[in-house]
Each structure stands twice: as structure tokens, then as C-alpha cells.
Structure 1
């Protein structure tokens, strides 16, 4: 009989189902004449409620434990390099991830009809903290065959990143450099803004110049038309005067002709 396969099946059960199932596997091993395996199966411990919930996470959401392992590796790397700034950022992620994992474990347990007490939740949080500090703990969690959490939670918790030792001279230098960077950023932003304003003004000027040129051409056309109209008016007035003179002359001639005709009659 395969002890690893049997362990996987036993630790996938609810804690209340563990003892009866283990006894059945022991009986089967003995019946098969495999006393050594039977003894090893009998030594498999019933999982605590917290350990069972962690096993459930490992089986249902293995990617979550991989995230835990990746963050732990990043924390250990930053700690080894004494990178305080990175440690402080990763510590924020650590708190967020542990909260998210605890919430996920609670949901999984609730889906199986099991409620975790506050003390169980604290144990689970401690295990996650230990896993971040020790990759071996993460590997144990990934196996999904955890029987108890107390051995894992005894691992030294991950320390909060220490505040950096302040070098006053370097701090002032960095503050000056930061102010210069900020001033340079503001100057660049102002230069960009004024450049954009200039470009918009230049475009507006070009548009206005084009509009003025069109208006000038239109005015010139209207002026020429007015001059032509004035010339036409003058010519028409001259023609009127000439026509009036011819009319009066013709009228006088007609009157003389009328009087002459009357005298002859």
C-alpha cells in the first residue's frame, strides 16, 4: 500500500472523519500482511481544525501558497541586501496578503460547513508569517498533509523592517536633491504649459491673420465695386442732364410748330 497516497486521502477528509478512515486503512494494511505500513498509518495524527483548513487551502487554492512563497523570497532577498525601503514596501504587501489568505481560508472552511474560531485564525496567521520567513514551512503547507500548526508557528516570525539610521548630512543632501528634482519637475511642467500656450496663440494669430487678409480682400473688392457704381452713377446723371436738355429743346420746337400751325389756320 502507498503510504503517501493514503496520507493524502486521509488529510483531505474532515477532521471528524479522520479517525474512522485511518482505522479502516490500518485494518486493510494488516489484512494485506503489511504490518510496517499499518504501523505508519496508525501514527498519522488527526489534523487540528486549523491544520485541516490550511490543508484545504493547499488543495483548493495552491496558487495562493505560491504567492506566499514568492513574497517570502522577495522579503528575504531585501532583508539580505539591507534594503530598508524595499522591505517597508514588501511589509505592507505582507500584511495585505496574510489578511487575504486568512479570509480565503475562512471562506473555504465555511463552504465545508466548518467555522474557525478566533484562536484558530490566529494560529493560521502565525503559520503564514512563519512561511514568509522560512521557505521550508511553505513547502510543508503546499504538501497539504499538515496535522498541527504549533510546530510551524514556533518558527521565528518575520521582523518588521527597522527604521534606517539617519545620516543628517546625507538626509539634508537628499532633501536638497529632492527639492531640486521637484523644482525641476515644476519648471519642466511650466515650460511645457507655456510652450502649449504659445503654440495655441501662434495658431490663433495665424487664423486671425488669414481672416484679416480675407476681410481686406473683400473690402478691396467692395471698394472697387463702389468706385464702379459711383462712375456709373455719374455717367447716368450726365445722361439725364443731356436727355433733359434735348427734351426741353424738342418741347420748345414742338410748341413753335403748334403755334405756327394755328396761325396758318
Structure 2
């Protein structure tokens, strides 16, 4: 407020009477508005997080998504508690201790922001003078279980399970088809390899048969040749002896 007075005086001294009057009429913010303005300046990401959570909650309610509503409701309570604690810490840093009444007012504003994105936009400006028009706890359901269309919810859950089952079945069928194709390719490769091996075996068996026949023929030729050699050797011995006899005769 001292700064407001100083700005008004400076505008008046500068000759801008209209601006001076407007500055002088600016309302003193309530303690809740003051600390929320500090939050907007120092932690805008927290207000953005609040806005995103509110959008998710509104979407879940619009779709009667009971499971998501329950999850987000638990998250909502955690986020609001954390932000109230942060607000208390900001006030302590400025040497101010917030009463329970002020903290409840701040919590009501956060609750209203979850229900109405316009409230979050107003908070983000950091120019609140009061919170009375923003703190509307009725703007969002409390922690009580949401009212949903149970029939529609069960139908959607069955449809979702069917979509998941269908997705898994398609994935399994695709995997099985891929495995079958790989097995078929492996079988064809193995059959080709077996055929080449069988051909090699037939060729080797034919070569072995020819070698055995050649061996038999060679053995027969050896026997015949050995017989001829022995006959010739005997004849040569007889001739040698006959020659010696002739040479030794008078």
C-alpha cells in the first residue's frame, strides 16, 4: 500500500492526474489475494499444472470415465494440498503467517480453478485484489464418488477390454505368422541342403562302386600277371640251366 501511495504521488507530480486517481483507487488486496499473486509470479508452472489437471478432470467427467475420475480425484487432493503448503511457505518467507481461514480461502480458489479455466487465467495474471468471486467450492465435486452412468461405463469398459483383447489377438496372430514364415523358410533351406547331401551320397556311392569294380579287376589282373610271371620265371630258370650245361660240356 505504501508503494501504491508512492506511485500515485509520482503520477500526480508528473501531471497525470487521471492516472494518479486510478492508482489511488486501487484496492488493498486481501491476504489470500496477496499470497496468490506472489504464487503467480514465483511459481507460474504450478498454476499451469493446476490448469492441466482441471482440463483432464473435466474431460473424464464428460466421458463418464469412472476409473480415470477416481485416479484424477486422488491426484487433485494431493496437488491442492501441495500448493496450499507452498503458499504457506511463500507467506512465511515474506514474514507473514497465514491463518487457517486464509488457507481455506486459498484452497477454495484452487478448487474453483480446477472446475473453471477462467479462474486459472485470472490467477495467472497475478493482479487479484480479492478472492470472494473466485472461491466457489461448489464449482467442483468434493472427494465423494462421482455420479456416473454405470451402464454406459460398464459398456465402455467391456468395449475397451474387447479392443485390448482384439489387439493382443492380432499381435499374437501376426507373431505366429512371422514364426511360421521363418520356419517355412528354414524347412525349405534344410530340404535343399538334404537334397544336395543325398546327391553327394549317390555320387560317392557310384564312385565307390566303380572303385570296387576297378579293385576287383586290378586284383584279377594281378593274379593273372603273377601266374604269367611265375611261368616265365620257371622257363627262364630252365633256360639258364640248359645254357650252363652246354657251356660246361667238353
Establish whether TM, by shorter chain, passes 0.5: yes
1:126 aligns with 2:126: no
Match of 1:237 in 2: 219
The whole-number CA distance in structure 2 between the counterparts of 1:236 and 1:114 is 118
The whole-number CA distance in structure 1 between the counterparts of 2:160 and 2:69 is 23
Match of 1:163 in 2: 147
1:84 aligns with 2:58: no
Retained in 1: the 8 A contact 2:8–2:24? Answer: yes
Mark the runs of 5 or more structure 2 residues left unpaired by the alignment: none
- CA shift digits 1:130-161 (9 cap, x unpaired): 12333442342232111343442145331267
- CA shift digits 1:50-80 (9 cap, x unpaired): 433432443456576466556656766776x
1:226 positional shift: 0.4
1:251 positional shift: 0.8
Match of 1:26 in 2: 8
CA shift in 2, pair 1:253/1:137, >3 Å: same
Further displaced range: 171-180 or 152-161: 171-180
Mark the runs of 5 or more structure 1 residues left unpaired by the alignment: 1-18
1:41 aligns with 2:19: no
CA shift in 2, pair 1:200/1:118, >3 Å: farther
1:195 aligns with 2:177: yes
Retained in 1: the 8 A contact 2:47–2:120? Answer: yes
Match of 1:16 in 2: none
Further displaced range: 116-125 or 140-149: 116-125
CA shift in 2, pair 1:28/1:189, >3 Å: closer
Helix, strand or coil for the counterpart of 1:84?
Answer: coil
Q: How many matched pairs? A: 240
The whole-number CA distance in structure 2 between the counterparts of 1:128 and 1:262 is 144
CA shift in 2, pair 1:123/1:240, >3 Å: farther
Helix, strand or coil for the counterpart of 1:147?
Answer: coil
Matches within 5 A, 1:54-133: 54-59=36-41, 65=47, 68-69=50-51, 72=54, 83-85=63-65, 89=68, 92-93=71-72, 96=75, 99=78, 103=82, 106=86, 113-114=93-94, 119=100, 122-133=104-115
Matches within 5 A, 1:114-263: 114=94, 119=100, 122-154=104-136, 156-159=138-141, 162-167=146-151, 188=170, 191-263=173-245
CA shift in 2, pair 1:88/1:32, >3 Å: farther
Helix, strand or coil for the counterpart of 2:2?
Answer: helix
The whole-number CA distance in structure 2 between the counterparts of 1:37 and 1:171 is 58
1:122 positional shift: 4.8
Retained in 2: the 8 A contact 1:69–1:132? Answer: yes
